[in-house]
Structure 1
Amino acid sequence: MLKNIIVAVVLMLSAIKITAQNSVEFKVISDEKEAIVGASVYMKNTTIGAETNLDGIAIINNIPDGKQTFVVSFIGFETIEKTIQFPTSKKQIIIELHENEETLDAVVIQSTRSKRAIAEIPTRIEVVGAEELGEKAVMNSANIAMVLRESTGIQMQQTSANSANQSIRIQGLDGRFTQLLKDGFPLFGGFSSGLSIMQIPPLDLQQVEIIKGSSSTLYGGGAIAGLVNLVSKKPKDEREISLMFDQTSRNGSTLNAFYSERFNKFGVSLYGSVNRQQAIDVNDDHFSDIPKVRSFSINPSLFYYPNEKEE
């Protein structure tokens, strides 16, 4: 008899517990009466909650009897707390969220002048070293076109078939937007788009520095596409003498010579070039296809070193 009473009491308590678990459906909408997807609905101070679906509905189960407070929130909207007495006869509770004006202000992006000088901002520079220049000088000592042509993003465009003039195009821009420098100073008065690159042999160059892109506008309006800086060799303690002679199949001859040496506080370098080309009529129409050329250039430099720290 006692056993039957205990079983009956347990069943009654279980039934009471089951009936004490409530369920409620929330529908979250905006000021425009549109459903809000992904809004968070949870019972305060508990882990019981849910998120709204595509219809803006969230169903919460296992709610005990009594007054319960629910928190409804969504990004960009004001958070709302709703208190409900359970059990309740309402099957669906509609919650309307209002936009938070403080968090939805227009985002304005502004740029101002930096206190850092442009000259101090790092710039990506590609360098063609002395070893590679030496290889190219052996292959073609008459001009630097071969050196520049093998760098990515640079095209050498021939602008004249007779004079062999070439322009340097960086990243597809016209040659007039490329600045050509020698030891940091403009060559050809800053106008290098249609002049002969053949007049710049690599024999006396220590390295070639290439800057691509608009960051090179620090060097003037002619450097919008980029710039090429030719760095000359400097005298060393050991004497350096280089001679190179080229002969073409069309009676063209070029002789290049370079000498440099350092004497204590003084140093000297001397570069000379002689070019001789006979006029050639290739198709026998009594007009020369290759013009007659006689040219020479000499470039002496004197260096002074006040102390041992100066190079």
Structure 2
Amino acid sequence: MNSLRIYIIFSLLLIPAFTHGQQKASARWEGRVKSGNNGIPFASVSLIGTSIGTLADSAGFFKIEKVPPGSYEGIVSAVGYQSLKKKVTFRGSETVTTGFDLASSDMNLDEVVVTGTMKEVSKLDSPVPVDIVTPKFLAKNPTPSIFEGLSYVNGIRPQINCSVCNTGDIHINGLEGPYTMVLVDGVPIVSGLATVYGLTGIPNSLIERIEIVKGPASTLYGSEAVGGLINIITRDSKKAPVFTADVFATGYQEYNADLGAKLSVGKRITSLFGVNYFNYQRPVDKNGDGFTDLTLQHRVSVFNKWQMAHSDGRVSSLAVRYFNEDRWGGQMNWNRRYRGGTEVYGESIYTRRFELIGAYQLPFKEKVTFQYSFNTHHQNSAYGNTPYNADQKIAFGQFLWDKTVGKHSILVGTPFRYTFYNDNTPATATADLTDKPSETFLPGIFVQDEITFGKNTLLLGARYDYNSIHGNIFTPRIAWKQKFGQADVLRLNIGRGYRVVNLFTEEHSALTGAREVVIMNELKPEQSWNANLNYVKKIVTGNSFLGVDAALFYTHFTNRILPDYDTDPQKIIYNNLEGYAVSRGISLNLDYNFTFPLKISAGATLSENFFVENGVKTIPVLTERIMGVGTLSYDWERAGLTFDYTANVYGPMRLPLLGPDDPRAEYSPVWSIQNIQLTKSLGQKWEVYGGVKNLLNFRPPANSIARPFDPFNKNVAFDANGDVLATPDNPHRLIFDPSYVYASNQGIRGFLGIRYTLP
């Protein structure tokens, strides 16, 4: 508790720093960013080492007023182009004009990434492979949440875990959602209770990029980063557009709106404000099982980020987000008066969430930064007649010391996390059923040394955590990168991970039917070793090029915690594996740019997940064997038209059956979701877009929910041992169970939207 008090007191002491002054500027910097004879719209222009920057307008022109005298290094970057740096000197009240001519680079190798090492480096120079998802990529297939938008990234699969309430998680390289950590601006803000909702409600208009690390990241980020992490980077408010709006609707009568606005307060403070609103209130049952095909939702998320530039070049930031959602799914005649009862089955979830995220660079000669966050998450739910009410509070803070000594780039961090969790289940109750909230204290320290010699980089890291429940945890890491030529890179990453189970995150579907959660013993933390080999190559063919990105991955688990659906069809049994588990595979991404304005990208991942116990090899449920993604884009510049095609394909995965008599298929089929979109530019600020989603009209089989006509099992007969008896009404010995789910029930639908950007 003394450590927690120190963090809180120190955070309060930082608040007055927002009142420091700033020197007045006197020069003006202007120019144009172009590629050949064409201006590049909305390119990012800034002076390195300062908070001075802006976005170019729709024709590529930029202008920055009141720049302090001195010599700087200017940098310009834009999606699809190589970044360019130029030295610029300002001597007083003058206007300096600088032109930037950027070369095309659709591989985005020069984009800045921070997630792999917690330091800003170009993607090419990072010893840890980092995938980048840009707003431009997300716009190829507009979705109301990042969760759905990542469906077309190779190795990433959004998994729907509940066919009634449609909550889900993100799988990376075949590993389930609990192995993926979600961060916002580098801070672990989404975990535990919030995991199944973590990628919804973040306004797309405020996203600068999404960075994805596939592989071990526990050394820097701790628990829940065993299989990888997703870091959502929000826009720099200094460089964001003045106003953005993106509104669309679908044939299902789904309505989504993303709004963003920038506000300047004086000369030093800027604010970025965003709102995401999603509304779907039309029950649909096209498969005829009596249940809603798609969960009805009403969601509002408000985000506000403040940044202050200090006179010495330091930048402080503070962001808050409020999330409120009301969702329900169930039988078509359900309404709120049936909530929690046994007359009509419905799953109703009220969620309220508040987040605070901040960063402050201390006014020291050394680069020391304090990052902090706090979030509360409240859920009030009814799964049929099963109530689930839970509260979670997480406080996080860490100091980061960044120091370069010769060829060594050293990073030291002192993270501390406090987690409070309470619900109305036996998970937070004593033996006599007295309520006992769970409190976890997790102080730690990590050290990372990045050593550069020639075209080689060696990264060494180690982390120590003390979990107040599970004790000492040590996670080392080593990474090596070798550069060949200008853009060919070979990387090897090896690391250790650990993970503590959270039952709500692990098995949300346990609450959605008649299955009972059983914990056989006190669960020990999982431990794993992970290795990842990555090779990137650029092949130039005349005026076009082919980008190749290939990877091998392998993870070996001990103490792995797996849900057992097979031993008893009425239970989900948890226990530490008495054996080992393996996740391994290979992935390949190809990007090709033609000499004409056609771009094609394709990727595939082949993975194998299994566990061995008592000499028996078993494949876990809901883990795919193969997956593939593809995009095709063609720009018809004269007409102001862009055509986008996006597709994914997934291979068979084992599904949870209710015993040997269950008539449903044991494995899912190979299925594909494909979409097309046409975008028309109307001047420099407006765009209209529309298209068709799920062209093949794929939907899971109508019998995905077992016994949907008897959701409370009123007509199911049981013997003295609790086993289901075969009856004329129930010859296959089934109970109501919606956990047999692998894809959305939404079929083919059209969509139409409009975008507006004021730079």
Output the TM-score relative to the length of structure 1: 0.53
Q: Does 1:307 align with 2:311?
A: yes
State whether residues 201 and 299 of structure 2, in contact with CA within 8 Å, keep that contact through their aligned partners in structure 1.
no
Residue 223 of structure 2 is aligned to residue 221 of structure 1: yes
What residue identity is the alignment partner of 2:182? L
> How many angstroms apart in 2 are the aligned matches of 1:239 and 1:289?
38
Equivalences for residues 197-216 of structure 1 within 5 A: 197-216=199-218
Deviations 1:88-109 (A, max 9, x none): xxxxxxxxxxxxxxxxxxxxxx
SS, match of residue 149 in structure 1 = helix
- The answer to whether residue 102 in structure 2 is matched with residue 126 in structure 1 is no
296-305 or 141-150, which moves further after superposition? 141-150
Q: How does 1:1-311 map to 2 (within 5 A)?
A: 123-128=127-132, 132-137=134-139, 139-145=141-147, 147-191=149-193, 193-195=195-197, 197-236=199-238, 239-263=241-265, 264-283=267-286, 287-307=291-311, 309-311=313-315
What is residue 65 of structure 1 aligned with on the other side? none
Gap change, CA 1:196 and 1:165, over 3 Å in 2 = farther
- The 1:210–1:286 alpha-carbon spacing in structure 2 relative to 1, beyond 3 Å, is closer
Amino acid aligned to 1:203 = S
C-alpha distance in structure 2 between counterparts of 1:238 and 1:297, whole Å: 19
What is the CA deviation profile of residues 8-65 of structure 1, one whole-angstrom value per residue up to 9, with x for unaligned ones? xxxxxxxxxxxxxxxxxxxxxxxxxxxxxxxxxxxxxxxxxxxxxxxxxxxxxxxxxx
Q: Which has the higher helix share?
A: 1
Offset, 1:222: 0.8
Q: Is the 8 A contact 1:280 1:290 kept in 2?
A: yes
For the residue of structure 2 that corresponds to 1:152, the secondary structure is: coil
- CA-based RMSD of the aligned residues comes to 2.9
Distance apart, 1:204 and its partner CA: 1.1
The question of whether the paired residues in 1 share the 8 Å contact of 2:277 and 2:299 is answered with: yes
Who wins on radius of gyration, i.e. which is larger?
1
SS in 1 for 2:248: strand
**What code does the residue aligned with 1:248 have?**
T
With over 3 angstroms needed to count, the CA separation of the structure-2 counterparts of 1:190 and 1:207, relative to structure 1, is: farther
The aligned amino acid for 1:160 is C
Question: Matched residues in 1 for 2:289 and 2:131: separation?
Answer: 46
Per-residue deviation at 1:190?
A: 4.6
- 1:218 positional shift: 2.6
CA-to-aligned-CA distance 1:73-123 (integer Å, 9 cap, x gap)? xxxxxxxxxxxxxxxxxxxxxxxxxxxxxxxxxxxxxxxxxxxxx979x75
Q: Residue 225 of structure 1: CA displacement?
A: 0.5
Relative to structure 1, the CA distance from residue 310 to residue 190 in structure 2 (aligned partners, 3 Å threshold; closer, same or farther) is farther
Q: Percent identity at matched positions?
A: 20
Q: Which moved more, 1:289-298 or 1:225-234?
A: 289-298
- In 1: Cα distance, 2:151 partner to 2:254 partner: 23
Distance 1:198 1:237 in 2: 25
Distance 1:119 1:242 in 2: 29
Q: Give the drift of 1:262.
A: 3.9
CA contact (8 A) 2:247 2:258 kept: yes
Structure 1 runs, 4 residues or longer, greater than 6 Å off: none
CA contact (8 A) 1:236 1:261 kept: no
Distance in 1 between residues matched to 2:276 and 2:219, nearest whole Å:
32
The answer to whether the Cα contact below 8 Å between 1:157 and 1:169 also exists between their aligned partners in 2 is: yes
Q: CA deviation at 1:149?
A: 3.4
Q: Residue 224 and residue 198 in structure 1: after superposition, are their counterparts in 2 closer, same or farther (change >3 A)?
A: same
**Deviation digits for residues 187-242 of structure 1 (CA, Å, limit 9, x no counterpart):** 33455553363433432111111122123443121111111110100112674211
Measure, in 2, the Cα distance between the counterparts of 1:166 and 1:174.
10
| 1:205–1:233 contact (8 Å) kept in structure 2 | yes
Q: What residue in structure 2 maps to residue 113 of structure 1?
A: none
Distance 2:185 2:142 in 1: 22
SS of residue paired to 2:196: coil
